[in-house]
Amino acid sequence: MTAVESSISLPELAALADSSLDTIVSLQDPSGAYPASPTFSAYKGYSWFRDGAFIADGVSAWGGAESASRFHDWCSRILVSRRAQIERIVTAADAGTPVPDAEMLPTRFTFDGAEGADEWWDFQLDGYGTWLWAVVEHANRHVLPLEQWQEAVDLAVDYLVSSWRRPCFDWWEERAEEVHVSTLGCIAAGLAAAGPSLTGDRALAAKAAVQEIRALIRQDGLSEGHLSKWLGSSEVDASLLSVIRPLGVFPAEGSIGRATIAAIDAQLNVGGGVHRYAADTFFGGGQWPLLSCFLGLALLAAGDRDRAIEQLRWAASTATPAHELPEQVDDHLLAPHMRQEWLDRWGTVATPLLWSHGMFLRLASELGVKA
Ligand code: BGC
């Protein structure tokens, strides 16, 4: 730990969490959408199901129940308004003639629920699973009736049950030809969370899909005992931490949990700052505070509270003087020669990145650092 990190006191961490909640709530669109980053060129005007689900979870955990509910309302409206598209996708998959990737649901939407005119790496399944998990966590945490979101929950379940085997872009919007283990984990977590609210054939299908996904991960998604980046890969990716905590698909103390935390800690964590994966070149391949928080959550679940607090401190050390958390920092780059190319293409690193603030809230809440 550096001197800067160790000097960040618990009340300062709590204050940064409070200001993180303010940042997120003040930037939430009246529609309920959470912008990924308000000013960053490539993200401006869009909200992602993946980012948003984790942001809503952090907000919900830090006491922002009303804001999180409004985000879930927004997601619900989008899913319900796309009922015909989802039914078409499910019917085609059942008939053995799946629709092309371009006709699947996108990963991000404009705040009014449209797809937007900009080209994107849009076909990603994880966000719909993470949303299911987050909305159920939120309803349980605040004892809210899930029925208000049930129609959308049912649609998301049908979509994922029909399509979870398809290769798609991963969390980092890369490698569309692979089946990514963290994507499978997000889907399994969402279907498992939705389970108790489902009835009839839908309940049976969701349960069967969770079992099949878990079996497939055990069969093809492990390497030397740890979760691997995609089926058949031997690499790790820090997104796999989420499958342990907070998604809980594999327990932190189990053999898969322990091996995955150890591999990511050894290969991708440099002094508390966590890289996405070893070959990352995006903005030079820096360290992501949101991933440091995922590592903190996993370490805490594995019983290492001291190291979990160190992870929160490291994330706090990346805040700007205006208390904004960036997407990544450049203190330790895996591919320094690639940094300028991205700066020229998209401008300065996304700051604030609301997902970073959301993960900060979730770890701070789990550590009980509330002022
Ligand atoms: C990241 C995604 C993220 C998006 C918006 C991309 O650069 O790879 O994981 O959803 O930014 O924050």
Taking CB atoms within 8 Å and a gap of at least 24, the contacts of 78-83 are 78/109, 78/113, 78/152, 79/151, 79/152, 79/155, 79/156, 80/151, 80/152, 80/155, 81/113, 82/155, 83/155
Using alpha carbons, list the distances in angstroms from residue 27 to 30, 47, 79, 223: 9, 12, 23, 41
> How far apart are the CA of 213 and the centre of ligand 1, in A?
24
> How far apart are the CA of 352 and the centre of ligand 1, in A?
13
pTM assigned to the model:
0.98
Atom of ligand 1 lying closest to residue 174 CA: 8
Where do the structural domains in the chain lie, given as residue ranges?
Answer: 3-367
The answer to whether 366 and 309 have CB atoms below 8 angstroms apart is no
Q: Which two tokens stand for residue 255?
A: 């053999």
**Cα separation, 354 vs 331, whole angstroms:** 21
Residue with tokens 């450049």: 330
pLDDT by residue for the chain (371 residues), tens only, comes to 454 556 899 999 999 999 999 999 999 999 999 999 999 999 999 999 999 999 999 999 999 999 999 999 999 999 999 999 999 999 999 999 999 999 999 999 999 999 999 999 999 999 999 999 999 999 999 999 999 999 999 999 999 999 999 999 999 999 999 999 999 999 999 999 999 999 999 999 999 999 999 999 999 999 999 999 999 999 999 999 999 999 999 999 999 999 999 999 999 999 999 999 999 999 999 999 999 999 999 999 999 999 999 999 999 999 999 999 999 999 999 999 999 999 999 999 999 999 999 999 999 999 999 86
> How far apart are the CA of 170 and the centre of ligand 1, in A?
10
β-pairing, 108-110 vs 222-223, is unpaired
Q: Helix 354-367 vs helix 289-301: angle between axes, to the nearest 10 degrees? A: 20
pLDDT at 70: 98
Which residues carry out catalysis? 170, 173, 327
Atom of ligand 1 lying closest to residue 350 CA: 12
| CATH, range 3-367 | 1.50.10.10
Q: Which residues are registered as beta bridge partners of 329? A: 287
Question: Of 24, 37, 43, which is best to mutate to test ligand 1, by the most ligand atoms within 8 angstroms of its C-beta?
Answer: 43
Question: Of 39, 54, 355, 357, which is best to mutate to test ligand 1, by the most ligand atoms within 8 angstroms of its C-beta?
Answer: 355
Using alpha carbons, list the distances in angstroms from residue 332 to 132, 272, 283, 292, 328: 35, 11, 12, 14, 10
Report residues whose beta carbon is within 6 angstroms of any ligand 1 atom: 36, 43, 48, 50-51, 171-173, 355
> How far apart are the CA of 172 and the centre of ligand 1, in A?
6
pLDDT at 7: 86
pLDDT at 1: 46
